[in-house]
A and B are shown apart, each in its own frame.
Chain A
Amino acid sequence: MRRGLATAAVVVALLGVAVGAELRLGRVQRADPLGRELLYLPSPEVLKVVSVGNPGLAADIFYMWSIQYYSLFEPHERFLYLEPVYNLITDLDPLYFDAYRIGALIMQIQTGGDQRQLQETVQRLFDKGLANLPTSWELAEAAAWDMYMRFRDRRQALRYAEVAAARAGAPARIKRMVGVWRDSEKVWTADDSIAYWRQAVEEAVDAYDRKMSLSKLYDAVAARDRETLDPVLGYLREDLGRCPASWDEVVRRGALVSVPLDYVGNPYGIDPERCELVPLKKISDQ
């Protein structure tokens, strides 16, 4: 009995020494500040061989490791190696949606450094995913929002939204996104916009979609009307030395035949400070 206890005590003591040594070793600074583990990332070919037919599992393991590793929010150079890590994961399993989407999100955590380069890196990952997952509108939509919210790049957001809209199964909101961003980036004419929104109203999938599309159609019509009618106000202002008070006055002075009406048949207003057309948007359910 006593011998057993003594042996157990010796074993525990030795374990304590070993654990203590390990803790100490963990604190010792080694020469490479970038994190040795990442310098020795194995290639996907090697991992495929090692996994004896389970590359998807190897991808999962690296993915989980990356989540854990990058979850500790300490923004320093470790984020530099993100692209190889997610390339490795997606080489092992090219159909791994989360690796693309969450990988892109994790990349975006980094706030310092060259944000331009970061955006290109993020886009490369998204583009790889979109190429490998040709039917995924979800990934394209995620890319569009990331471009808009994180990088404030409406051009790229529009590009990804268009990719998403072209893929089967894309919900109605994506088509609306495309329209909204085309409007805001002014990549098309007012007539194109009106035609687009008119079609959106016709193809509306539910009441909400219809309502939203109607609203956009209204705005598109108003935009076109503004294009044609604001110059009229400008001429009159030069003539009169002041902005016309109302569209009735414009008509009375002979500049227009009748009071312009908005898409739903209500008259427009005039913003007196800026001397521009103002839609009095009151869309009732039609």
Chain B
Amino acid sequence: MSDIQLSVQGLCKTFHPGLFEADVEALKGLSFEVGRGEIFGFLGPNGAGKTTTIKAICEIIRPDAGTISVCGHPHTAPEAKRRLGFMSESPYVYRHLSGREYLRFCGELLGLPRTGMEERIAVVLDEVGMASRADRGLGTYSKGMQQRIGLAQALLGDPELLILDEPMSGLDPLGRRDVRDIILARAAAGATVFFSSHIIPDVEALCDRVAIVVDGTLRAIGAVNELLARDPVSYELTFTGADVGGLATPLEASHERSDATWVRVATPLRDALLAELGGRGALLLSLNPVRISLEDLLVEHSEEPTS
């Protein structure tokens, strides 16, 4: 069963900052769909329109054109919002409340039944690892703790669709691992997760599908493997017994290590280099293709001008 949990069609948004500033066209007809149970990553450089898209989905801003549907309902309907759990980038929260009080407040806003709300809060606090620190004031929390509470309120209503804006930003590696685990657990339980991120390794590790957005348009969308399925652009070699400076074959990069020499060469020149090394009597230690990384792909798309 792969019903569509999030559908964005033809989303356009232009911002009008003021009389003396030029209009900013943030989204130029964005369209994509996310199916149930997917973990979907939203990648793009700063200013690409990721946060704008997320705000549009959550009705924090209104698009100039386009439709958005959440869990089969129009995104403005209360039914949609009840099924949606949103975590904003560096969430600022009420400093005067404790973590638990804040979650209670969110529970009231969600319309959760009063009976069982405390248990639900306890479960969610446990899930994000804040159970022991929930009764301190939010003003005393570190960034990581705030992020966890932000995630907790998103999870509070047991949402079918989780929308997370940069959920790992500002977290230490342990924190990031915890968030990754939560996302995986939720997806395994049947929720759909849509998140935007800068941190490529996390996206690569987590996401079933990825969309690359640059300058308000969708540049690429698909499973990570599909996107990266290309012939290697270059090869990395390590060897001993030959001097790098004396090699005729042009190299992309080289580096003298204590135990060996490392070089990178473009694919067409690989065989020529191997032959040269063999001719010099060098000992080849390793030979690896360099696959394009997601990061490279992103950079590639970023540098492309908008068509």
Touch A–B, Cβ below 8 Å: no
